[in-house]
Amino acid sequence: MLSRTADSLYWLSRYVERAENTARIIDAASRLAALPAGYGSATNEWESALAATGSKENFAAHYDEATPETVVDFLAFSPQNPSSIKNCLENARTNARSVRTALTTELWETINSAWLELKNYSPRDHNLSRLADFLRFVKQTSLSFDGSAYRTMLRSDSYCFTRIGVYMERADATARILDVKYHVLLPPGAQVGGSLDYFQWSSILRSVSALTAYHWVYRQNLKPWLVADLLILNQQMPRSIASCYENLTRYLDMLARHYGRQGPSQRHARSTFTRLQNANLDDVFQSGLHEFLSEFIADNNRLGSQINEQYLI
């Protein structure tokens, strides 16, 4: 397959995944921001939303203050934000368009219809129900993208590259969301912020669509360290870092079998996955959650460059 095609497939699915992540973050932030003063924490939720999407500095270059309007505008629609939902969906379509031949009709139509529908939403209609519609539309797009990839694509190298894009993006997003909130995810015995942080924890779970999953897995009320366990180490949880790496290893290995040779990206993903499998939560807290997460984000980026060098250029 052409390297450029692989590159476009990879970025196509990264952008769709990124759009969904951003939509979930906006969703969670607006819920939290709607609580009466004293229920949430002292932090400005909208600033956390910016931090979780890694766009704080870029935001500051264009706006003075993080208000619901400015942040939603920036994260969802702004042309100045390369990762705004609008830009993500537009980039996804540009990539899709340049590799149409590698996509199934269903996959192409999902992206193309989303791009067409995007025109119906504008930053000007600022009301909450309209925003909720928009966020639902974005999540729906990502679901049907994944669904049509799963149901219609040949299990060839093309499929591997779309999956690898999804899991690279998702691992990065989960780590960032956790890192923004690491101060409320303290180990047992430490000074806990009490019930006030409850809404912070549930908001983290909600932003990765894991609130129900939490109750199924742990069958108890929200404990911050269990939230961290679920999202970092639990392989059953499809958004956890460990699960992302299980999948990255699987699809990179599938590629290697397909091409009859493996390289640095396979070795790197496998070693990260092994470390995650062998880690336990105490170790993570021992070395510091924040340190663990920043190290992981850097490590994940290294895998990204290796994939790039090995296949995409």
Partner 1 sequence: MIAKAFDEMTALGDGCRSGYELVQAWLAATPAETLRQRQQEAELLFRRIGITFAVYGDAEGEERLIPFDIVPRVLTRPEWQRLSKGLEQRVNALNMFLKDIYGKGEVLKAGVVPEDLVYRNPYFRPEMQGMQLPHDIYVMIAGIDIVRVDADTFYVLEDNARTPSGVSYMLENREVMMRLFPDLCARHRIAPVENYADELLATLKSVAPGSAPGEPTVAVLTPGAFNSAYYEHSFLADKLGVELVEGRDLFVRENIVYMRTTEGPKRLDVIYRRVDDDFIDPLAFRPDSVLGVPGLLSAYRAGNVTLANAVGTGCADDKAVYSYMPEIVRFYTGAEPILSNVPTWRCREPDALKYVLEHLPELVVKEVDGSGGYGMLVGPKADSATIENFRQKLIRDPSKFIAQPTLALSTVPTFVGEGVAPRHVDLRPYVLTGADGVKTVPGGLTRVALKEGSLVVNSSQGGGTKDTWVVDVPITDAAIMQFQQQQQQQSRHRP
Binding site for partner 1 (CB under 8 A): 1-6, 94, 97-98, 100-101, 105, 108-109, 112-113, 116, 157, 255, 259, 311-313
State which residue, 61 or 313, has the beta carbon closest to partner 1.
Answer: 313
Which of 9/232 has CB closer to partner 1? 9
Q: CA dihedral defined by 83, 174, 15, 32, rounded to 10 degrees?
A: -50
Cβ atoms 311, 2 nearer than 8 A: no
Tokens for 44? Answer: 């400005």
Got the DSSP string for 88-154?
HHHHHHHHHHHTGGGS-HHHHHHHHHHHHHHTT--TT---HHHHHHHHHHHHHHHHHHHHHHHHHS-
Q: Could you tell me the smallest distance in angstroms from the CB atom of residue 269 to partner 1?
A: 16
b/e map 183-200, b = 16+ CB within 10 Å: ebbbeeeeebeeeebbbb
Give least dist CB 310 to partner 1, A.
8
Instruction: Annotate 241-305 with DSSP letters as a single string.
Output: HHHHHHHHHHHHHHHHHHHT---HHHHHHHHHHHHHHH--HHHHHHH-HHHHHHHHHHHHHHHHH
Nearer to partner 1, 116 or 190 (CB): 116
Residue 65 burial class via C-beta count within 10 angstroms: exposed 0-12, middle 13-18, buried 19 and up: exposed
Nearer to partner 1, 3 or 280 (CB): 3
The least distance separating partner 1 from the CB of residue 27, rounded to whole angstroms, comes to 29
Compare residues 166 and 312 and give the one whose CB is closer to partner 1: 312
Shortest distance (Å) from residue 312 CB to partner 1: 8
16 or 178: CB nearest partner 1: 16
Q: For partner 1, give the closer residue by CB, 108 or 201.
A: 108
Nearest approach, Cβ of residue 6 and partner 1 (Å): 5
Cβ proximity of 214 and 236 under 8 Å: no
Taking the least distance from each CB to partner 1, the nearer of 99 and 131 is 99
User: How far apart, in Å, are the Cα atoms of 191 and each of 56, 216, 226?
Assistant: 29, 27, 16
Encoded tokens for 116: 């067409």
Minimal distance in Å, beta carbon 137 to partner 1? 17
CB of 46 to partner 1, least distance (A): 34
Question: Is the Cα torsion angle 74, 77, 81, 86 positive or negative in sign?
Answer: positive
Nearest to 200 by CA among 44, 13, 89, 88: 44
How near is the Cβ of 259 to partner 1 at its closest, in Å? 5
